[in-house]
Structure 1
């Protein structure tokens, strides 16, 4: 547009926002059903006074943890030209660039969000790829029951209690799987071992009780997120240590207070430390330290 001066345009006050929204929707539509006025008022409030959002209709915002976002990028192969810490630093640099360009908005707690309008534009761009294999599927909170064929699958916030035995059998190319915030999910099927290409597995904020032996078959796994799995009472030996390519392991508030004897979290920290020492590529570890002995063992 050859603009030589930039300045911030404030969002509209609610009264002005509602007037604009009302003009675009039309009085005839607003009066066509008694339930419509209450619904459209809710939609108008969600737009937050942003003029462009007020004249289009889109899904709600979601606050994204920056660390997890970079994890996803690394495991999707977006940062393949970099290695280890360099890839993570480049990811943070990209987030900073997107914030500066106002394509992301900064949130509290090291999080960002994408405005509905920007998000819809991004999904539209992704859907126009000529290469039909380059597809992304986001199904957060939609109650998915059938198994899609994709490379990235977000199933968070779906209120799942368990996953059908055959669900993962047709997904050998899946690289990123997020099952986070399924607060009823308590176990994973043995068929998860079929995800031979999986690089990122997010099980955070679930009620998972035991880490399956089948997970150690995920030889390409780079990121494993077990944050806030406070019902997890069993992590068998030689599962974590078998994930030789693991770069990121998140275990904040991981594990129930009472652990089974065969769990690496049982008793002291010796077994957990032994598992971690076998991970040559691990460069990011998040763990809740319940005993100072854990730190001592780590640095011996």
Structure 2
């Protein structure tokens, strides 16, 4: 449960954290008793969130969200340092820090969970070597370019959140090297096309393509190649491209 709580530490201060998404991330990382099905994990995830609320570790923010109290965030910083010392689990959280450039690549090398969400970063051009990184939150930045080699040496990445980067128009082929990926959030981005090379993501369990107004092409048979996919979100629009599952409705998605 400690690692579940520390997920909230990856979000900015006073951030409204969707409970449903939190449980999905826990599920994809295997924090919920190694359940095979999200339907089985949701009940345990809900119970964990309720226990955090009852213990005043989190507070409600409307019906569907929670927030981490400031004093608990301070405690979370202490817990992360304890985990670094005793269990060799490193957290790197610079969420909401008004960064214009990403942190130096060397700062990533030991991290297992990392967040630079809700900043003003526009470019990711380096090739960081992150052999232990499993969780990476890059959402709510101003990305225009992510280099083809950026994901080359992050072999164990499980959760990648690129959501709400509206200026991001393309996914380069290098992202297909994330063969351990289980959770991928592209919602509210400007991505126009999904590359067929994503077929290499055989472990993918969650894919969110919600509110992608510029999305014009998903290659046929791509979605059905994700044999472990359990959570799939998308707003369908009909487009004319023949090699495109967006033409013709839901039947071509599976």
Counterpart secondary structure, 1:241: helix
Counterparts in 2 of 1:86 and 1:269: CA distance versus 1, 3 Å: closer
TM-score normalised by the chain length of structure 2:
0.77
1:169 is displaced (CA, Å) by 0.2
2:60 aligns with 106
2:113 aligns with 136
Which residue, out of 171, 178, 183, partners 1:195? 178
Q: How many residues align?
A: 213
Q: Which runs of 5+ in 2 are unaligned?
A: 1-11, 91-111
- The one of the two structures with greater contact order (alpha-carbon pairs below 8 A, sep at least 6) is 2
2:203 aligns with 220
Runs of 4+ in 1 over 6 A off after TM superposition: none
**How many Å separate the matches in 2 of 1:209 and 1:223?**
20
> Do 1:232 and 1:256's aligned partners in 2 also have CA atoms closer than 8 Å?
no
> Do 2:144 and 2:168's aligned partners in 1 also have CA atoms closer than 8 Å?
yes
1:7 aligns with none
CA-to-aligned-CA distance 1:209-256 (integer Å, 9 cap, x gap) = 1111121111111111111112111111111100001111111xx355
- Following superposition of structure 1 onto structure 2, how do residues 58-137 of structure 1 map, counting pairs within 5 Å? 60-84=13-37, 85-108=39-62, 110-129=64-83, 130-133=86-89, 135-137=112-114
Q: Which runs of 5+ in 1 are unaligned?
A: 1-58, 276-300
CA RMSD of aligned residues (A): 1.9
> Do 2:236 and 2:249's aligned partners in 1 also have CA atoms closer than 8 Å?
no
Counterparts in 2 of 1:246 and 1:232: CA distance versus 1, 3 Å: same
Higher Cα Rg: structure 1 or 2? 1
- Following superposition of structure 1 onto structure 2, how do residues 167-182 of structure 1 map, counting pairs within 5 Å? 167-182=150-165
Counterpart secondary structure, 2:184: strand
**How many Å separate the matches in 2 of 1:114 and 1:264?**
40
